[in-house]
Amino acid sequence: MYVSGLYTEIRVPRLKVVACGLYLLLLLGTTRGQDDHHILRLHNDIIKNNNPKVRPVKNSSDTVTVSLQLHLLSMSDFDEVTQTVTANGFLLVIWKDEFLTWNASEYGGVSEISPDYGMVWRPYITIRNVVDSVEPLGLDFGIMKVTANGIVNWAPGDTFKTFCQMDVTNFPLDEQECTYSTFNWGDSLKEVDLQPINNSIGLDLFNANSQWDIMHTSAQRVISEANNTPIPFVNFKMTLKRKPSLAILTTLLPVLMLGLVNVVVFLIPVESGEKLSFAITVLLSFTVSLSFVTGMLPQNGDSIPVFTIFIVGQFVMSSIYVFLTIWIVQVFHRDAAIRPVPSWMGRLTRSWERCFCGTPAVGNKENLAMAACECPSVSWIRVSKMADRIMFCVFFIAYTLTTVISTLKIAYL
């Protein structure tokens, strides 16, 4: 008896909760049905009788002001060779349609509807600098909202593949400025005027790119003329900065190390038999590096990267190293009995040996190093070895200076 009463006391509150829930669902369903009825009546009264071919102004002399803002979602490709940028995004387009206004109180408080975009006038917004076919945006799809006071919000989305003039002078620490130039196709300034919503590109939904960072964006209205007819343009600009880590590790650093290794050819003894083959191998490596770098840069003469000039310089120096190595090897194998060392070359060799070995103090005996340098006669072997030392010092200094100058020019130009 006690258990039955306790079960009844617990069951009754649960039944009340279920009944309240069913009542709320019924109330919401009724309200939803009333809203759908008002929206359907609103479509029949206003949208159905609207002509999308007529500009949305009651006075034909008035101008329709269209506000634009570009929103980027991702940047899928940045091709330096073809100088094109492929990005995904949409345009937020806002204007006032004087024919699509209503009193919200007469339609159950409905203040916003989503009509079929084919039943509402819309501007033919076009991006001028696209690479593929030039056509207006949103011809087959677009989300549109209309408010009770006639404000139309339209967001056509697409994949934009546009041309971007690139300046690769400072590659791989370069910055690029790309522009999306939008205009209204078919209407002049007197009919449709374009204005940017704000001075930037929307990046709230943007997915970061692995190779480029967007440093700055801007939006600017420009008036151009075609056949003496003013046409408004809104140019959306973005400044891109390359992420240099990958380019430094895969391109810049190997070339710098290759140039340093190239100078070491003068430290390889002629007796090893690998001196000339080493110089030729490094020369071929520079050829491969030069073809690799030029293959990933724009194929035009508008801007030449400092890095490319540096590689060409190293290629020329490597060619000189090959000729000098051939000469040094030839000098090394000369027979002094058949072709003696000229006296001027002997004096010059002894002078350079004193510079490298050091000058002894006055009144002191020469040390072992000077004794090794002061042999009674100068042979062709001594001449070739001294030439190796001189070439190494000269070209190592030249390599260091050119590397420092090129790096500073790339980083701070």
- For the residues of 347-364, what is the DSSP string, one character each? HHHHHHHHHHH-PPPTTS
Number of other residues whose CB lies within 10 A of the CB of residue 40: 11
pLDDT at 204 over 90: yes
* Residue 14 pLDDT: 52
pLDDT in tens, 264-282: 999 999 988 889 999 999 9
Under DSSP, the state recorded for 54 is: S
Percent of all residues in the chain with a pLDDT value above 70, rounded to a whole number: 85
Across 371-375, average pLDDT: 48
Q: What is the dihedral of CA 83, 86, 92, 94, to 10 degrees?
A: 50
Reply yes or no on whether the pLDDT at 200 is more than 90: yes
What confidence category does residue 358 fall into, taking pLDDT thresholds of 50, 70 and 90? low
Closest by CA to 235, choosing from 248, 253, 254, 220, is: 220
Query: For residue 6, what pLDDT is reported?
Result: 39
Q: Round to whole Å and give the CA distance between 379 and 335.
A: 9
Quick one: how far is CA 187 from the chain centroid?
34
DSSP, residue by residue, 13-47: HHHHHHHHHHHHHHHHHHHHHHHHHHHHHHIIIII
CA atoms of 313 and 258, how far apart (whole Å): 13
Q: Among candidates 282, 270, 289, 407, which has minimal Cα distance to 333?
A: 270
pLDDT above 70: residue 294: yes
* Of 265, 300, 305, nearest in space to 282 by CA: 265
Instruction: Pinpoint the alpha helices (H) of 264-359.
Output: 275-295, 306-332, 343-357
CA–CA gap between residue 158 and residue 208 (Å, rounded): 18
Give me the pLDDT at residue 29, please.
42
**Model confidence at 25: pLDDT above 50:** no
- Amino acid code (one letter) for 273: G
Q: Could you tell me which residues come within 8 angstroms of residue 413 by beta carbon, excluding any fewer than 6 positions away?
A: 169, 170, 306
* Integer Rg of the chain from CA: 39
First to last CA, the chain: 95
Instruction: Give 20 or 205, the one with higher predicted confidence.
Output: 205
Return the exposure string of 113-151: e unless at least 16 CB atoms fall within 10 Å of the residue's CB, then b. bebebebbbbbebbbbbbbeeeeebbeeebebebbbeee
